Structure 1
Amino acid sequence: MNAALTPPKLFVRTVPLRDRADGLVRRLPEGAPLAWLTGDEGIVGWGEAARFDPEPSPEGTPPTDITRFTTAARRFTELLEHAEVEDEVGLPGTGPVAFGTFAFAPTSGGSALIVPRVIVGRREGRSWLTTITDAPGDHPRELLWPVTEPRPVGPVDWRPGSLTDTAWMDTVASTVARIRSGELDKAVLARDAHAEAHSPIDVRVLLERLRTRFPGCFTFSVAGMVGATPELLLRLEGDEFTSLVLAGTRPRGVDEEDDHRLGREMMSSAKDVEEHGLAVDSLRAAMEPLTEELTVPAWPHLLKLANVQHLATRAHARMSPGVGALEAVAALHPTAAVGGTPTETAMRLIAEVEGMDRGGYAGPVGWVDGAGNAEWGIALRGAHVEGSRARLYAGCGIVAGSDPASELAETESKFRVMREALTDPET
């Protein structure tokens, strides 16, 4: 979807498929798979009928600039205006679908909105196939791409990221001092790590391992960003809006008693409750102008995952007429759960002290369909995979009560998701 060209005329057809229990990942050919999965359900795609790669904004652009989102939304709308759609299923995720990933910062590259040639989906026991072609009645050649068994990763060499453990803890300590001085209330600091396999990494094997181990998370693959995020930025079905805010983390316990103790400790922790409250406040401020009947619980609940547990708040609303999914994504990003408070101060601090470009980490990732239905998460617990290399990311919220050693341990817990996905089981 080049900005200077008229969008291509596309012909979209969705038909029912006989439901199969072998999983969506096994339908994917090797290459650059697109995926958004929750357990056994979701959508996968391959090939490219259309693609838009927003240009990074110039240096000095305000960190909350939304140009890439509004431009991407316009490109997708223009594409839909030139499409002929035949949808025999009529569920969220049928018809034309665009998978997307947006960089954390507007000045970073890596944002993309991709409409695949072939989409396979599954929801509530119903499966479907969508094909997108340039002429009516055509069958995309991508349907004939061979589906092979996903390859194990093989041996992996690990390297540290941009900052050593000590340097990163020093950065946390200096950030705590700036918070206590009143410069800001919260900053989310991230770190990276590097993995290199001896041959190109088959993303399908990562997707299968992640969706199996974290069935309650959203397993994603879009333009190299791969992971399993627990954080639902938004779900839109018609005009019904849902979001899941996560902030505040503890590891899982060694046994049930220890697990309950850690959960109770987090629920009563002033530091974690403050961090979570700031994230909830940022969602409320972003969405109140765009919604009707916004409902946000007064107190979080515990969300327990395979490796960690979080404080969680689920919000509901009805979208105001005319507000689209990408407009809502633009309003929500960056949340206080991945940026900080106040937003612009925290974003500038992140750029100053992290020593790296986050790329797509902590940016929005997900999909939107031609009817306006959408699911977007935050690209957490993931990595950017390119060829034989993977760059892993993990972060945590820093507030006045943060302890550098504890925050380092939290990032190690979060790194474990992708480290284990990249590690073949012993045979």
Structure 2
Amino acid sequence: MSGKADPRTAGKGTAPRPRGTRLDRGRGVLGPALELVHTGRAPTRAVLTAQLGVTRATAGAVAAELEALGLIRVDARPGAAAGSQGRPSHRLAVAEDGPVVLAAQVHADGYRAALVGLGGRIVATAPGCETVDADPAKVLSSVVEAGAGLLRATGRRCVGAGLAVPSAVAEPDGLALNPLHLAWPAGAPVRRIFTECVRAAGIPGPAFAGNDVNLAALAEHRHGAGRGARDLLCVATGHRGVGGALVLDGRLHTGSSGLALEVGHLTVNPEGRPCHCGSRGCLDVEADPLALLTAAGRDPGPEVSLLSQAEDLVRRHYDDPSVRAATETLIDRLGLGLAGLVNILNPDRIILGGLHRTLLEADPDRLHAVIADRSLWGGQSGGVPVLPCTLDHNSLVGAAELAWQPVLDDPLAALG
């Protein structure tokens, strides 16, 4: 103690020291408050107050600060619902003209860039490219430049960038260990390359990279079919291969080094096709678009992505006996893999993306029956719910979630 008099209490005897402002007391919940609005779990100030466990006045100060940062909008004059009593609560929503992040996705049949705002809302997208060079630096430079063009055209403030790739991404170095369908070298330092491209383009904020299915699961958990699940299993096949992800107690589970849930290498047909991993009959080669086209006796065409060809075949030609038989075969293989995962992970919800969503829509009863027959708890309480993913471009939205996370953690620090 310096012994120096406090000017706020000088001459006031033993009067108590003034308490901090409501915002001072609520500053620690700015991040949680923003996340509640971001994920749609706090549509009004009354709900925000209850979720945060603070006073109404503190919740109001927090909401006002988030609005001053340009992150949310507070509607002070909402219309009262018919038959409601009491004063209606202020409505909260993400700011439609607020900051954005750059989201990028690379897959076997191309790449795409987008600007994504809070709430998982895609603000603008650049035309997708269908050619993926074997040099990751060329690809990432092109996709970042496309994103930079969107920022110039829209004039939006950018606070970060995220990248989704079809490979396990090892931590802490951000290495793409198995980008098999991209012809990239194993262990490509995609996070470092992406960060360098972002900096070279003059885009502010931190840059991140992650596995595309992990990021799809994160997006669906916050904004889509996985919202409200505690332990969520996501399995999806995009253009090639099969991936999986797990959200445990609301957080993405990536294991000790980012490599958890490589579900594509579960064996579901011991006498099946050779897999890139050296085994045979893995889910990766038995339940992806190429497997469906091959089983149905169709030659893949070069003009349209494998995913589009496979989904079109199921949706438009399911009455064809060869297509129905191929679809049932893939459903059985997928169900076998899901049953094993249910036995190990005990999720409270499964969501399926890509072609797997189409298989579920084609014959949900068959898939549920296979899972119930092969899983330990499948017949009890109706088994685990299996739902289709609901977000368009969920890996892109998930890449954006990576970039939004520092803002959700500490809005004041992230936005300066």
TM-score per shorter chain, which class?
under 0.3
**Structure (1/2) with the larger helix percentage:** 2
**Structure (1/2) with the larger strand percentage:** 1
TM-score by length of 2: 0.25
RCO (CA 8 Å, sep 6+): is it higher in 1 or 2? 1
